[in-house]
Structure 1
Amino acid sequence: MSDAPRPTGVAAKAKKKKRRVVGSDQGPQSRVPAPSTMTVSQTPEKKKRKRNRKQKATLTLADQDGQGTAPKKARLETADGVSPGTDVAQPRRLHKKKAAADVGGTQPITNSRVEPNPKAISAAAAAASTNENCTGSTVGRNDKLLNVNKVRLLKERKALPIFPVRKELVRTIRQKDCIILIGETACGKTTQIPQYLHEAGFTKRGAIGITQPRRVAAITVANRVAMEMGVETGELVGYSVRFDDSTTSATRIKYLTDGMLLREALLDPLLKRYRVIVLDEAHERTVNTDVLFGVVKSAQKERSRMDCLPLKIVVMSATMDVDHFSKYFGGAPVYTLEGRQHPIEMMYAVKKQDDYIFSALVTVFQVHRNQEPGDILVFCTGQEEIESVVKATRETRLQLPPDEQKILALPLYSALPSSMQLKVFQPAAPGWRKVIFSTNIAETSITIPGIKFVVDTGVVKERTYQPGTGLELLKVRKISKAQAWQRAGRAGRECSGVCYRLYTKQEFEAMKEHSIPEIQRCSLSGVVLQMLALGISDIFAFDFMDKPSEKHLVEALVRLHQLGALEKKEALQLTAVGKKMAAFPLEPRFSKIILCSKELACTEEILTIISILSGDSVLFFSEKHRERANEVWKKFQSNEGDHVMLLNVFRAYKSVRGNKDWCKENFVNKKNMHKAMEIRSQLADLCLKAGIPLKSCGQDTVAFRKCLAAGLFTNVAELQKNGDYLTIDARKKVHIHPSSCLFSSSPSCIIFTEMVETTKCYMRNLTVVDPDWMTEVAPQYFKKKRLGPKSL
């Protein structure tokens, strides 16, 4: 063990101008990587970022003369996110007196920190400040604890970079119809601006709505703000996400996902209940966010024409194409909040890396063995990749000398159980170093304390729609420059840090400035259905920030027509089926499946499977327990496919009433299964409102599988004579995913829920179907397509 070669180079001291990252031809599980492969070099960004070492909070305004003349151009300097050299309107610095309570040494609140267990913060606060059974001196001690907690929270709020400019921000929002605020993660914008506006009286005549692209962010930030304000979540402060609403008529600060605000617009197109709409994390550009931009703009415009309260819009992000956003929102002024970002040293690979995961593993061990203390954050693409590299890290560390084995490798992704997610936020034992392997959830949605080193693989997994095929797949692609800066910024939250980019400087320069918006790369069937339900009949003339192609919109209309949601008329109108589909907060294909379950008398089973597919995975195992989990799950498996298997798991879970020990023994995620049951209950209520009785098909799965085919008819693959599977429409070669219970079998015809592209194109969540069913459940789609033995 002690003779194992010690990596040198990439983790050497920062004063050296060049570093060498070492590697090995052998896999990471065989031994500690030996020196040879990758070289990185120091980039000049380090000097630029040093200027921010002791930077005080300042607010920069992109000034305009009000006469319609083009503003002068200048460089926008932010600590991270917007790459250097981005042109924006000429800034004017607004000087603020230093607040006496701006305690420089206090750790700031992480404004967008998203704890994976959203209610943990509120629970902890309640535990620290309340005790139902306390009496006498205990009451006095509890009051002191409450006061101490209140003082601590106030101190933390005053220490945030946004605090010194709060009055100027409120005054600006009062004066302007719309402003754009660029503020780095942890400056306090998400948690504090709604509180400042509430304190300034904005909620006297309406609520403040703050949108978030992720449900976990909306819940956690709402809990944090409620705690800071000393109220219970659901009262003055609340949240609304799909299948979970914690608001009342008294709620004045409401955090909600962009999709939920879009659904509110179905009933209230002018959003009259809101005085201010804050579009947070606007750079994420989800499909719902892009449509919401147009809906909110339209509501503001219409309200200005009417005799009603004007609507204020605040667009916020840590990074975005500011000129593009400003132009879209009518030349809205751009404010930049500079904050407490520490200097970050950038390191690039000297040559292109063939295996980014192996290079990441090599870099992790070099940093661990040669650099100072500090946790490491590694960006990966997905759950399977993360579990694999976590296992490799745990095995490889055992080959180090005993005094160097103190590495705590942890995974982080959305489907991970809450108890395991929370481990990344807890400090490691003395002398140990945490290494966190995360998806892009750690880019902006969460801030993990203690991170000093970031390893950026330069890739991300995104959902992409393939026009002409009706297929949508998860695919690994290169990140944008904006994403690269966001990742690097994770290393400078608490102290100076280092970002190791596992790509060359030339590869970085070739990256796109910003990611392609979802509206231009994802299926638009769902959003077009919502737009038509909103009364937006001319979708081709809609005010999109970045308009999708006409072909893309036409395909969405064709898909809705095949689902029976559109009238066969020249004017775009929803059928009765289409209107019912729009009432369900689901993808159109899932809504159609539920509606078809009425005729096939299998609503109970369909609600179960749709609820499970609408949340995170209910089955879970770590790489260490893969074999054991596969063995245990055999009792649930079915030769009819994964959907039937999931149905069996749900029935077993229900029969033991969600017993915790049973879940552990059977590798079932109790939290996600409980959530699936909550979703199922809400969908059942919607079914009853739509006149769909809750009937069961029992053990006869034919009706159940037919019903699934009624919505998944575009996702059909047939077995060929050579043993390959081809999709019916695109004739694309696909494979059964190894996680499927059908992996070892070869059914002639299958439907699938999703497709993932890694080394191959895999189908996940499969069900065996009879080809003859397809023309029965989707005649419009299959009347010109061949299915069954003749097509083999």
Structure 2
Amino acid sequence: MPEEARGPPAPAVDLVEEESGAPGEEQRRWEEARLRAAALKFGAPDAACQEPKYQLVLEVEDTIDFFRAAQLQGAEGPSAPPASTQAPQEECLQAVCRSLLVFLLRQELLAAIASHQVLIIEGETGSGKTTQIPQYLWEEGYAKKGLKIACTQPRRVAAMSVAARVAREMGVKLGNEVGYSIRFEDCTSERTVLRYLTDGMLLREFLSEPDLASYSVVMVDEAHERTLHTDLLFGLIKDVARFRPELKVLVASATLDTARFSAFFDDAPVFRIPGRRFPVHIFYTKAPEADYLEACVVSVLQIHVAQPPGDVLVFLTGQEDIEAACEMLRERCRRLGSKVGELLVLPIYANLPSNVQARVFQPTPPGARKVVVATNIAETSLTIEGIVYVLDPGFCKQKSYNPSTRMESLTVPPCSKASANQRAGRAGRTLLLALEQLYALGALNHLGELTTIGRKMAEVPLDPMLSKMILASEKYSCSEEILTVAAMLSVGDSIFYRPKDKVVFYRPKDKVVHADNARVNFFLPGGDHLVLLNVYTQWAQSGYSSQWCYENFVQFRSMRRARDVRDQLEGLLERVEVGLSSCQGDSIPVHKAITAGYFYHTARLTGSGYRTVKKQQTVFIPPSSSLFEEHPRWLLYHELVFTAKEFMRQVLEIESRTQNSACQP
């Protein structure tokens, strides 16, 4: 063929591909096929098939199949301004308030509250019940003449965050007109008219004010999350409302058995806030997943790769699962590099420091996506702006209490569909045994009436056994040491920090060894209570230093809270007329005072291991205890927790003669 008929010569790159079997062309066709399949699979627009928007990130075989099961329609109404608006913050907050569903029914709601003493309010999550209704009541004049409006929350974090949000919306400083009150922390003043508090704190109000005379409205929010405190509150509020007709009682929830609550409150009317702000599409996996943690991580990456902008909220069972999921997400995003956009992985759970928890509420930077990995702390009352996708693995961690064995168990059972919607925790406690315990502690007499020491115990906002321990410290002249022990016990099992064993790029494995050695250095003969006392004493000698906590793998946030608790307990001792004294390093008085409150919680070493004295139940010393490698004959424990075994948490060695002498009420 003549040279002119052949046309222009091909580029050099194409000649190479032709000679080598065109591997580049084959690779390109394979990637286009995968991208086309991914676009169809994840519901991307048809245009994505012609002009792929995303690079190949996930293998199709490794993804999870979902199918749409239901669609919940959203309500038509005013919408909030977009996040990029340049309007002042106050105007944005007011616009958001006006976009809530409860705003459209404000007049009808206020008329119903004025007409009825008790009102059951049912409305979808995000309708504005928690934040707006107390403000409407304040604007309507229910907080005049020195009266206050109370709104209870099931969790401390919810009370704090909601109060802060309402204060911003009203343009006031937190702690003035709007405040919160939780255990060992009171952010209120004489000017406070809207008070958010936990149900346990409102229950304590009945001790000093049985008729709640300083309150004009009591709103029990998230009533479906029934606990022992809420059940007692409902009974007490029902009695108070009968002889205080001017007291308004509101019971609110998103998923509530309204008929049952209405019948309990003498057929109280039900006010329903219909609809929801935005439509919700519900998807289920086509088949159960063997590893729900892995499935959540893969689903987050699927959403991040192929779905439109919007933040993700993932519900997991507890701190361990959350930390594992966050590490997996960060590691995979680090491996993918520039193939995917920026993904901010933010955990939130109860033991997390407050400054870290606050990160989930910060706006997402442009071009990035935020994924919040949370426990059910984010299920109610907490609203995180920008959440578009929610992943629920169908499991929840439940704490159950066995009154016969006096043991708490943390289990992870699968949720039914109704439980997934409600996710309500219930307390399986029996009151009968509580009366028996109070009688043994000397708080009740044989007629069931409060004794002198029982009234003093009621003034201390702690467990009855812990209160009795503090009051007994005066007899043994060790109140200074016992206050420290009580404060450290009230913080919980979050004093020591231990990194994960898994090797990751930002957490060297040798830190685990250093953390274990640092903990062993605090061990003292006698038991874990003395270890807690030693930790606090050394921290106080360091000048309450945060650097000392960092070097010794002790959580500074927990220690700071223990110091606050101790200061408040010291102030309460003046109210119950208990003087301060110190045993000057002698551990015997400390043993006796602790045993005076916790003689119910004793165990004896037998041929088959440790058995509780009360129920003859087999129990074990946890590996983290200072007495794990020792085998004292008699032990005292703070509480029983069932995880892998029936473990005694915070154990103390006692002598039988010490036990017998200290058990007298």
Q: CA deviation at 1:226?
A: 2.5
Structure 2 partner of 1:335? 271
Q: 1:270 and 1:343, CA in 2 relative to 1: closer, same or farther beyond 3 A?
A: same
Q: 1:265 and 1:741, CA in 2 relative to 1: closer, same or farther beyond 3 A?
A: same
Q: CA deviation at 1:407?
A: 4.7
Say yes or no: does 1:457 pair with 2:343: no
Say yes or no: does 1:210 pair with 2:151: yes
Q: CA deviation at 1:444?
A: 0.9
Give 1:180's aligned amino acid. I
Consecutive unaligned residues of structure 1, counting only runs of 5 or more, are 17-31, 58-101, 109-144, 305-309, 487-513, 523-551, 781-792
Taking the aligned partners of 2:626 and 2:294, their CA distance within structure 1 comes to 30
Say yes or no: does 1:517 pair with 2:546: no
Q: CA deviation at 1:413?
A: 1.1
Structure 2 partner of 1:161? 101
**Residue 253 of structure 2, aligned match among 310, 317, 329:** 317
Q: 1:458 and 1:643, CA in 2 relative to 1: closer, same or farther beyond 3 A?
A: farther
Taking the aligned partners of 1:191 and 1:555, their CA distance within structure 2 comes to 39
Q: CA deviation at 1:235?
A: 2.7
Contact 1:615-1:672 within 8 A present in 2 as well: yes
**Residue 152 of structure 1, aligned match among 92, 95, 117:** 92
Q: 1:177 and 1:429, CA in 2 relative to 1: closer, same or farther beyond 3 A?
A: closer
Contact 2:409-2:643 within 8 A present in 1 as well: no
Structure 2 partner of 1:383? 319
Q: Deviations over 1:543-572 (max 9, x none)?
A: xxxxxxxxx33212111112121212xx32
Normalising by structure 1, what TM-score? 0.70
Q: Deviations over 1:436-484 (max 9, x none)?
A: 3322111114233343333323333333221322333434344454441
Taking the aligned partners of 1:151 and 1:368, their CA distance within structure 2 comes to 32
Q: 1:420 and 1:282, CA in 2 relative to 1: closer, same or farther beyond 3 A?
A: same
Structure 2 partner of 1:357? 293
Q: Deviations over 1:743-767 (max 9, x none)?
A: 4544444332233333333332222
Q: Secondary structure at the match of 1:737?
A: coil
Say yes or no: does 1:619 pair with 2:559: no
Q: Secondary structure at the match of 1:776?
A: helix
Structure 2 partner of 1:603? 479
Taking the aligned partners of 2:254 and 2:281, their CA distance within structure 1 comes to 17
**Residue 13 of structure 1, aligned match among 15, 39, 42:** 42
Say yes or no: does 1:694 pair with 2:603: no
Contact 1:562-1:778 within 8 A present in 2 as well: no
**Residue 76 of structure 2, aligned match among 43, 52, 56:** 56
Say yes or no: does 1:566 pair with 2:475: no
Q: Secondary structure at the match of 1:444?
A: coil
Say yes or no: does 1:734 pair with 2:610: no
Taking the aligned partners of 1:636 and 1:11, their CA distance within structure 2 comes to 59
Taking the aligned partners of 1:688 and 1:235, their CA distance within structure 2 comes to 27
Q: Deviations over 1:304-341 (max 9, x none)?
A: 3xxxxx11111111211111111112222222223313
Q: 1:666 and 1:575, CA in 2 relative to 1: closer, same or farther beyond 3 A?
A: same
Contact 1:471-1:714 within 8 A present in 2 as well: no
Give 2:129's aligned amino acid. K
Taking the aligned partners of 1:103 and 1:358, their CA distance within structure 2 comes to 36
Q: 1:445 and 1:713, CA in 2 relative to 1: closer, same or farther beyond 3 A?
A: farther
Q: 1:638 and 1:11, CA in 2 relative to 1: closer, same or farther beyond 3 A?
A: farther
Taking the aligned partners of 1:678 and 1:299, their CA distance within structure 2 comes to 33
Q: 1:368 and 1:148, CA in 2 relative to 1: closer, same or farther beyond 3 A?
A: closer
Taking the aligned partners of 2:621 and 2:43, their CA distance within structure 1 comes to 47
Contact 2:344-2:370 within 8 A present in 1 as well: yes
Say yes or no: does 1:654 pair with 2:540: yes
Taking the aligned partners of 1:227 and 1:475, their CA distance within structure 2 comes to 39
**Residue 635 of structure 1, aligned match among 521, 539, 543:** 521
Taking the aligned partners of 1:349 and 1:732, their CA distance within structure 2 comes to 44
- Which structure has more relative contact order (CA 8 Å, sep 6+)? It is 1
Q: 1:754 and 1:56, CA in 2 relative to 1: closer, same or farther beyond 3 A?
A: farther
Structure 1 partner of 2:358? 422
Q: CA deviation at 1:393?
A: 4.1
Structure 2 partner of 1:277? 218
Q: Secondary structure at the match of 1:469?
A: coil
Taking the aligned partners of 2:605 and 2:278, their CA distance within structure 1 comes to 55
**Residue 636 of structure 2, aligned match among 738, 743, 751:** 751
Contact 1:594-1:606 within 8 A present in 2 as well: yes
Q: 1:10-409 residue pairs with structure 2 within 5 A?
A: 12-14=41-43, 41-46=66-71, 49=72, 51-52=73-74, 55-56=75-76, 102-106=78-82, 148-205=88-145, 206-304=147-245, 310-337=246-273, 338-348=275-285, 350-351=287-288, 355-368=291-304, 371-398=307-334, 400=336, 403-404=339-340, 407-409=343-345
Give 1:328's aligned amino acid. F
Q: CA deviation at 1:646?
A: 1.8
How well do the aligned residues superpose, as a CA RMSD in angstroms? 3.4
Taking the aligned partners of 2:302 and 2:154, their CA distance within structure 1 comes to 36
Q: Secondary structure at the match of 1:736?
A: coil
Q: How many residues align?
A: 609
Q: Secondary structure at the match of 1:202?
A: coil
Taking the aligned partners of 1:768 and 1:580, their CA distance within structure 2 comes to 28
Structure 1 partner of 2:6? none
Taking the aligned partners of 2:298 and 2:170, their CA distance within structure 1 comes to 46
Q: 1:583 and 1:10, CA in 2 relative to 1: closer, same or farther beyond 3 A?
A: farther
Structure 1 partner of 2:562? 676
Q: CA deviation at 1:295?
A: 1.1
Q: CA deviation at 1:683?
A: 1.1
Structure 1 partner of 2:649? 764
Give 2:395's aligned amino acid. V
Give 2:142's aligned amino acid. F
Q: CA deviation at 1:777?
A: 2.6
Taking the aligned partners of 2:127 and 2:83, their CA distance within structure 1 comes to 11
Give 1:318's aligned amino acid. A
Q: Deviations over 1:391-444 (max 9, x none)?
A: 344445555566259554433211111222223333566665444332211111
Q: Taking every aligned residue pair, what percent have the same amino acid on both sides?
A: 39
Q: Deviations over 1:22-52 (max 9, x none)?
A: xxxxxxxxxx999989976525323xx1x22
Contact 2:323-2:347 within 8 A present in 1 as well: yes
Structure number with larger C-alpha Rg = 2
Q: Secondary structure at the match of 1:319?
A: coil
Give 1:345's aligned amino acid. I
Q: Deviations over 1:666-722 (max 9, x none)?
A: 333333322222221121122222222211223222322332233233333344445
Normalising by structure 2, what TM-score? 0.82
